[in-house]
Structure 1
Amino acid sequence: MIQSIDYYAIAPLLILAVTAGLVLLLDAFLPHRPYVRRALGAVTLAGVSGALAVVVSQAMRTGDALKTFCVPEGLLDPLDVPRRIPTLSAEPLTGPVAVAPCSFVVDDFTLIFAGLALAAGIVVVLLSAAELSSGDIPVGEWYFLLLCMLAGAVALPASRDLIMLLVTLELVSLPVFALTALKRYDGRGSEAAVKLFLVSVVSTAVMLFGVSLLYGTTGTVYLDRIARVLREGVPSSSAGGGGAYSSSLEIGYDLPAVVTVAVVLVLAGFAFKVAAVPFHAWAGDVYQGAPIPVAALLSVVSKAAGFAGMILILVIALGSQAATWAPLIAIIAALTMTVGNLLAMRQRHAVRLLAWSSVAQSGYILAPLGVRSEEAMSASIAYLVFYAAMNIGAFAVVMLVSRRSARNELDDYRGLVFQNPVAGLALAFFLACLAGLPPGLAGLFAKIVVFREIVGGGGGWLAAVMAVNTVIGLYYYVTWIVRIFTPAPVPASGADMTAGAGGRRTGWVPVSVAIALAGIIAVAFSIAPQTVLDLLPTAFIAPG
């Protein structure tokens, strides 16, 4: 039995993998010169852009979802005919056709998260050009690790079995440790990398324990088969051979309470990944200690990957256990948005403020999943897409300011609009979007969508908590915006926003391009926010 491979389905991954290998080869055989750094950045940017182009072409095609690495026909489970296909639609599909479980599925869900990760990756590559201009970071290793992380972020939403889901999640996590500590002689970066490593190891161990319990209980690693076992109480043949079917059908299959423990452990593992309370303490120090492009990666790409994995397991595999995990997520969401906002109010460092703001935004993204609504998942993903554009734009402006001021505190942004009108207006717009204030209609629309789904799903108390936190968040966003428009004397040295430390004009062009890209997307979302929801049908996760 040989699995067939659809190379078009995995084309974005192949492009990223080939580009990563090419970057390493070029770095090894070319002399270490400034033009080589720029060339490696151009190769990386071309690879990420090519992968994004393939994702766009996959999104434009019509027909069924692309599937590969499927169970061969001769090994199909005899009880796969007929089977209810787990989706989010109100009327699940049924039929006499056998459904072969697949490990890799490219559907609308996959394409949305892959496109988000690659679009954010383009901005991060541009920010990396400025970070690498000083020569303190090995360029080849940086771009190689960045491409590996993006490959994991693209593959994770396509994963439809537990093994591939865990492997791709670690492929997203592991390169970030090295990227955080890659800057030479940076003690703060090394400390941040160690903290991130320890937190990630603990979260992975917790999640692995929960996953092992799920496998031990259901006898399968495929998400759709796990859903079938938990819903119908029929264990997979892998749990005990062909005879398991007849005995289970005759005497029934009593799912033990260990399933509840597995659900809690898996949820806790993903809560670490998205920095949800009470697993949030690492965020502030890690974001501040990491290079700014890595902090942007953590706040957008890594967070998106964590939410993709969480949604896949909860919706496909554990949908029948919603009575267990939905109340937990509602409580976690309320705590996350509250703690994140309260901690952000106390910050004076720009990156730390964005870190705790990112924690609060995780609470808003989690909130719709805390109510058992058919449209909840779409609301969470829509908010995540809006948030990604706004947040990575804010990090891009912070990166530009950091070229002038090493402290990068909020007071360093005083009078920014007078020193650099484009950067100042852009940052003010991104912060207004995050706060949900006009003209940042993208953020306002995202909050309205989430609020509507929470109320419609019967989560009145959670909607009230979200409303209060939205008002709390206004304080630190507006305070930062006011600083941007408050006149401040120009430094006597005459340094401007395009000057790096010591007056060096290095790396500001790619950062300006990154700000422009993020700004164009955020403005487009503010003008026509409905276009995002039009991409999110109610039920768009194809079964494995």
Structure 2
Amino acid sequence: MTSQAVDHVALLPLYAAAATAILALLADLFAGRRAVTITATLLGALATGVTALAVGPWDPTFCVPGGCSWVPSWPAAVTAALFAGLTAGVLALSVPALRLGTAPAGEFCFLLACSMTGGVTVAYAGDLLTLIVGLETLTLPLYVLVGLRRFAPGERTTTDAASASVTFFLISVISTAIALLGIALNYAATGAVHLALLGPAPAPFAALAGVGAALLVIGLSFKVAAVPLHAWAPATYDGAPVPIAAYLSTASKLGGVLALAAVAARLDTSVVVAVLAVLTMTVGNLVALRQTRMVRLLAWSSMAQAGYILAALALGAPGVPAALAYAVFLMVLELIAFGVVVALRPAAADGGTLDDFRGAARRHPWLGAALVLALAGLAGLPPGLAGLFAKVSVVEALVAEGWIWLAGVVVVNAVIALAYYVRVGALLYAPGAPVARPVARPVAAALVATTIVAVVLGFAPQLLLGAF
């Protein structure tokens, strides 16, 4: 038996994320003040992102001949920093509700930091088992965070939050079981779990490996709310606190995209992923056309956006850079959209109906402009240049690899999506402005920072594309 050396420098981002969760608990235990707990968690999240970028590409650790379980690289560092940034942004959006006592700050911050730790693990995972462990660590705290919401007087009952949490949990358990079965079948056929060792199975086991790869992709598709494991998303988003819905639509979805990209780049899953892409973007866009609640519309829109990412992943390794870049652009734009919803609604309230946002831009012009920027980006139109470059990168990758028909499906769905994006944008400037409300400073700071990032990426997308 040989001992295995552990490179602790490579693990520093994970240590920082885990320390943030512990720090949140200790701050709540010894200080007992909400502001101290939130500030400690926020600083820990920012330190995690800085640590990931400072370590950058490093020697992998937990290695066996041919593969490693922890693989630091620039894409891993960028995505780990993005997980940390999303955590900090969602925490800032949650401050007004936490001040009202809608959830205990200590538990809230601890669970959010634990979820961030799972995201960092996914970013650096070098084998399928570490990937699954990271995804579950990312997702498990969210079951509780979704159900933590207590509604203010006049809002809907807590049954919605409990139902959303249970639905999310049950479908997640089923999807994880499917993914684990896929890993087991693939291991039986190839004897490999490390990503570097994945590849075609020997001829006698090719069919078994194909079934395993298909089941693995279907199980992981839950994380991005892809068809057929998509029904949980609208109810869960709408029943959760709006900032947690934002986290589900950004960080949780990013984890799923990373996992799918790792599998699609190494296994022959093009047919399955292409079918999932077409169904996901089409169902998402068509159902979004009929939505009357803001968060449900954003949920179905987010599902359609995941379909575009899957379209790039159908190409296998050649489509991974475009898919990951699209995912990052999407995370930034989604956080802006949900952040504006938080800013325009009363603290701790749900996302409201579309009519609740009628004329909002007349009283809050800057917030209206930010939401229009996010919607334009999601639609792939100027001035949302980040979203425009994201869609162009996916279509270019599909055309370059000869997948003209799938590129056409992406374009058609993008045109369909214009209907509901334009409808929401028009409502913001329609007559009948709602009562103006002050915007909490943490929410405003998060929105300003995220909007700046979106604008920078829009004008200099090569900064992101170069990382992948």
Shared fold by TM > 0.5? Answer: yes
1:66-104 per-position Cα deviation (integer Å, ceiling 9, x unaligned): 311123xxxx4xxxxxxxxxxxxxxxxxxxxxx4x2110
Give how far 1:30 is off.
Answer: 3.5
Q: Secondary structure at the match of 2:60?
A: strand
Match of 1:154 in 2: 120
Matching residue within 207, 210, 220 for 1:270: 220
Matching residue within 301, 304, 309 for 1:360: 304
Change (3 A) 1:175 1:352: same
Answering whether residue 178 of structure 2 is matched by residue 206 of structure 1, we say yes
List aligned pairs for 1:117-266, cutoff 5 A.
117-184=83-150, 186-227=158-199, 230=200, 233=202, 254-266=204-216
Q: Secondary structure at the match of 1:66?
A: coil
Is the contact between residue 282 and residue 413 of structure 2 (CA under 8 Å) also seen in structure 1? yes
Q: Secondary structure at the match of 2:79?
A: helix
Counterpart Cα distance in 2 of 1:103 and 1:346: 45
Matching residue within 56, 61, 68 for 2:61: 68
Counterpart Cα distance in 1 of 2:25 and 2:421: 41
List aligned pairs for 1:412-451, cutoff 5 A.
412-451=356-395
Match of 1:29 in 2: 30
Matching residue within 437, 443, 448 for 1:497: 437
Counterpart Cα distance in 2 of 1:407 and 1:173: 22
Answering whether residue 260 of structure 2 is matched by residue 310 of structure 1, we say yes
Match of 2:18 in 1: 17
Is the contact between residue 146 and residue 175 of structure 1 (CA under 8 Å) also seen in structure 2? yes
Give how far 1:489 is off.
Answer: 4.6
Change (3 A) 1:265 1:497: same
Counterpart Cα distance in 2 of 1:196 and 1:427: 27
Name whichever of 212-221 and 289-298 sits farther off. 212-221
1:104-150 per-position Cα deviation (integer Å, ceiling 9, x unaligned): 01112312321221121121111121221110211111111100110
Matching residue within 382, 398, 415 for 2:325: 382
Matching residue within 337, 341, 353 for 1:394: 337
Q: Secondary structure at the match of 1:169?
A: helix
Counterpart Cα distance in 1 of 2:130 and 2:467: 26
1:490-544 per-position Cα deviation (integer Å, ceiling 9, x unaligned): 5xxxx42227xxxxxxxx11111111111111111222223221222xxxxxxxx
Match of 1:467 in 2: 411
Counterpart Cα distance in 2 of 1:67 and 1:142: 33
Counterpart Cα distance in 2 of 1:131 and 1:2: 49
List aligned pairs for 1:289-300, cutoff 5 A.
289-300=239-250
Is the contact between residue 92 and residue 443 of structure 2 (CA under 8 Å) also seen in structure 1? yes
Counterpart Cα distance in 1 of 2:138 and 2:265: 21
Change (3 A) 1:438 1:174: same
1:187-218 per-position Cα deviation (integer Å, ceiling 9, x unaligned): 21111000000010000111111111122222
Give how far 1:339 is off.
Answer: 0.5
Counterpart Cα distance in 2 of 1:108 and 1:29: 37
Match of 1:281 in 2: 231
Name whichever of 374-383 and 341-350 sits farther off. 374-383
Letter in 1 for 2:159: G
Match of 2:9 in 1: 8
Counterpart Cα distance in 2 of 1:264 and 1:406: 37
Give how far 1:407 is off.
Answer: 6.0
Answering whether residue 271 of structure 2 is matched by residue 331 of structure 1, we say no
Counterpart Cα distance in 2 of 1:114 and 1:19: 14
Matching residue within 371, 374, 383 for 2:315: 371
1:460-489 per-position Cα deviation (integer Å, ceiling 9, x unaligned): 111111111111111110111111112325
Provide the aligned C-alpha RMSD in A: 1.7
Give how far 1:184 is off.
Answer: 4.3
Letter in 1 for 2:136: E
Name whichever of 139-148 and 520-529 sits farther off. 520-529
Match of 2:428 in 1: 484
Counterpart Cα distance in 2 of 1:327 and 1:529: 29
Is the contact between residue 359 and residue 432 of structure 2 (CA under 8 Å) also seen in structure 1? yes
Match of 2:77 in 1: 111
Letter in 2 for 1:277: V
Is the contact between residue 371 and residue 458 of structure 1 (CA under 8 Å) also seen in structure 2? no
* Bigger-Rg structure (1/2): 1
Match of 1:237 in 2: none
Counterpart Cα distance in 2 of 1:138 and 1:452: 47
Letter in 1 for 2:45: V
Give how far 1:434 is off.
Answer: 0.8
Letter in 2 for 1:187: T
Counterpart Cα distance in 2 of 1:7 and 1:65: 11
Counterpart Cα distance in 1 of 2:408 and 2:191: 42
Q: Which runs of 5+ in 1 are unaligned?
A: 77-98, 234-252, 500-507, 537-544
Match of 1:533 in 2: 465
